[in-house]
Structure 1
Amino acid sequence: MFAAKKPFGLMDNSFQSAGKYEGIKQLVDYFYDAMAEQSVAQKIHAMHTDADLVRRDKLTRFLCGWLGGPRLFAESYGPINIPKVHAHLNVTESERDAWLFCMQKALERMPYDEEFKVYLLDQLKVPAERIRQMSQVAREQRSHTAD
C-alpha cells in the first residue's frame, strides 16, 4: 500500500499518496485497461484516438501535475486546458459517467488508502464535469453556426 499523506490536496500530498509517478502510471494503465474491457466505455474508448502509449503517457503526466507533483505534461506536450482540448468531442453525462466508472475500476485495483481513493474519485468529478459542460457549449455553438 502507498503511504497516504494528509491532508490530501495540500502541496504534493496527493501526488505522494498516489505513489508518485510510478503509482500514477499504474493507475493510468489500469484505467485504460478498464476502458478497453468495459462495455459501458466503448464510446469513450473510441474517442481516445492517440496511440495507446501516447494517451497513457499524456494522462500520467497530466495527473502528476494535477495532483501537486511535477508538471510533466507541460514539459513534454506544452500547456493544456483540459475542457478546451476535449471540446470537439461529444461528451454527455453518459460518457462522463463511463469515464468515472473506469477510473473507479482502476482505483479499486490500486493499493491506495481507501480514504484517498474516495477523495481522488471525488476530485476527478470536477474536470470530468467541466469537459462535459465545454462539450455541450461547443455542440450548441456548432448547431447555431449550422443554421
Structure 2
Amino acid sequence: MSDSVFETLGGEAGVRALVDRFYDQMALDERFAGIRALHPANLDGSRDKLYWFLCGWLGGPQHYQERFGHPRLRARHLPFPIGVSERDQWMLCMADAMRDRGIEGPLFERLLEAFQGTADWMRNRPG
C-alpha cells in the first residue's frame, strides 16, 4: 500500500472509522459469529491493534511497529483456529465495512485483493 491509499481513506480518522465499522459489524451481525468468538468480550484492544496495524500497512504512521515491533501476523494468530470459514467471514465483514465507509471502485478492489492475500495467509487450519 502507499501513502496515497492512507490519505485517500482519510488518514488516521478514516482508518479508525473503517476499523470501528468492521468491529461494530462483527459484534452485531450473526454472519460473523465465528470470528467474533475468537475475540475477547471487550473489543477495544482488538480495535486498537487493527487500527495501529492498518495505519502502517496502508502507508501511514507505523503505530503498531512502534509499540510491538514487527507485526509477525501469522505467528500472532497461530493460537486461534483460522480456516476457510473464518477467513471468509473476516473478508465479508471487511468488505461490508469498506462499502459502509463509501470505499468503492478500483480502491475497493485493490484493498479487497490485498486483504484476501493476507487473510488467506493467516489460515492455520485446512477447513
TM-score (norm 1): 0.79
> Residue 129 in 1 paired to residue 120 in 2?
yes
What is the identity, as a one-letter code, of the residue corresponding to 2:77? H
Equivalent in the alignment of 1:4: none
In the aligned structure 2, how far is the partner of 1:120 from the partner of 1:28?
A: 14
Moved over 3 A (4+): none
Gaps of at least 5 residues in structure 1 are 1-8, 138-147
Cα deviations by residue, 1:88-127 (Å, 9 ceiling, x for unpaired) = 1111101100000000110111133532112111110111
Share of identical aligned residues, percent? Answer: 34
| Residue 51 of structure 1: how far off its partner (Å) | 3.3
For 1:104 and 1:113, the matched residues in 2 are separated by: 10
CA RMSD of aligned residues (A): 1.6
Aligned length: 126
Q: Give the match for residue 4 of structure 2.
A: 13
Distance in 2 of aligned mates of 1:116 and 1:48 = 28
Question: In the alignment, which residue of structure 1 is the partner of 2:68?
Answer: 77
Partner AA of 1:55 in structure 2: S
Give 3-state SS (helix, strand or coil) of 2:32's partner: helix
Aligned residues of 1:104 and 1:121 also touching (Cα < 8 A):
yes
Q: Which moved more, 1:70-79 or 1:92-101?
A: 70-79
Which structure has the bigger radius of gyration? Answer: 1
Partner of 2:82: 91
Question: Contact 1:17–1:112 (CA<8 Å) still a contact in 2?
Answer: no
